Amino acid sequence: MENSRDSHPAPAIPVLDDIPIQPELALLVADACESIASGLGELLDGLYLYGSVARGCALPGQSDLDLTLVLTRQPSALQSARIETLRQDLEARHFEVAKIDFDIGTRADVLNPANLYSWGYWLKHECRCIHGNNLAQKFDAFIPSRAIAESVNGDYFHVLNEYAHRIAGASHPATASRLMKEAARKLIRSTNILRTASDPFWPRTLEEHVSHFSVGYPKMANQLEFFLTQARAPQTSATRFNVNLSSFIGWMQREHQHLSTAA
C-alpha cells in the first residue's frame, strides 16, 4: 500500500544513499547475506541493513551491525531458535562490530495498512535492502509528521524503563556501559515525538536530534547533551545514568501528554 500525497506535498524525508559498504565491513555484510539466506531459505523474504553500517559511518570495532529480517510468514518456535543461532554464530565469527542485532517482521506486517507509518517508513527511510525482495519500493517517500514519530518511538516509556531495570541489574561494567549507550540513543531519538505538527525538519543523526530539540526546549538542552555524551561513550556510573534517565523520562512523558492534549 502506498502512502497518499496531498495536493501540496511538503518536502519528503530523504532515503538512504546507495553507497558502497565500508571496506572494513564488506566481508561481514557478505557473510550475513550468505549465512542468513542459506540458513532460512524460503522463510526469508528480504534482508535489510539499518543504522551506522547502512549510512556508511560505522566505526569498526565499536559500532553495531543492525539487520532487519522480513520473513514470508511467522516463524515457528524451532525457526525462531534457528534465527537466534544464526545471529550468535555470525557475531562469534566477526569482531568488526561490537554486536549484531536482528529486528524481525513478516511481509504481512510490512504491507498491513495499519503499519504504514511504522514498517512502511522504516523500510523506506531507515533501511537498505541487501538481499531478496525490496519492499521499500512499495512505498512513496514519506513527509515529516508526528504520526511517524509516534509510530517509531511511541514505545519510549516502556522501552527506556526496561533499560533502566537492566542497567541497574547489570553484573558487569561492560554490560552496563553497552546498555547505557543503547538507552541514550533510544532516548535521544524518542525526543522526536515532541515535534510540532507543522515542523518540516526531520532529524536523522543523534546530533541533529539534539540540536533540533535544543531549539524548542533550551532549558532541557544540557540534560539531553548528557545523553549524547553517553551515546558516544558512557562516562558515568550506572546509578547516575539511571537517575538522569528517570528524570528525563518523567519530564518527557508530561510534555508528551501536554502536546497530545493540546493537539
Q: How confident is the model at residue 9 (pLDDT cuts 50, 70, 90)?
A: low
Contact 36, 49 (CB under 8 A): no
| pTM for this entry | 0.89
Q: Which residues, 6 or more positions from 92, have their beta carbon under 8 angstroms from its beta carbon?
A: none
Q: What is the pLDDT of residues 177-217, one digit of tens each?
A: 999 999 999 999 999 999 998 899 999 999 999 999 999 99
CA distance 119 to 111: 8
CA proximity to 32, closest of 85, 87, 75: 87
User: In percent, how much of the chain has pLDDT > 70?
Assistant: 96
User: In percent, how much of the chain has pLDDT > 90?
Assistant: 89
Contact 136, 119 (CB under 8 A): no
Region 112-124 average pLDDT: 97
Asked if the 23-141 domain carries CATH number 3.30.460.10, the reply is yes
CA distance 133 to 48: 10
Is residue 263's pLDDT more than 90? Answer: no
Region 38-56 average pLDDT: 96
Region 234-263 average pLDDT: 94
Cell numbers for 167: 542497567
Q: Which residues, 6 or more positions from 6, have their beta carbon under 8 angstroms from its beta carbon?
A: none
C-alpha of 95 from chain center = 21
Is residue 243's pLDDT more than 50? Answer: yes
Is residue 8's pLDDT more than 70? Answer: no
DSSP characters over 93-122: H--SSS-EEEEEEEHHHHH-GGGIIIIIHI
Is residue 166's pLDDT more than 90? Answer: yes
Is residue 2's pLDDT more than 60? Answer: no
Q: Which residues, 6 or more positions from 241, have their beta carbon under 8 angstroms from its beta carbon?
A: 167, 180, 183, 230, 234
Look at residue 5 in the predicted model and tell me its pLDDT: 39
Look at residue 18 in the predicted model and tell me its pLDDT: 84
Region 235-255 average pLDDT: 97
Look at residue 1 in the predicted model and tell me its pLDDT: 39
Contact 33, 47 (CB under 8 A): yes
Helices (H), 170-237: 173-190, 206-216, 221-232
Look at residue 57 in the predicted model and tell me its pLDDT: 92
Look at residue 260 in the predicted model and tell me its pLDDT: 84
Average pLDDT in the chain: 94
Is residue 143's pLDDT more than 70? Answer: yes
Is residue 71's pLDDT more than 60? Answer: yes
Q: How confident is the model at residue 3 (pLDDT cuts 50, 70, 90)?
A: very low
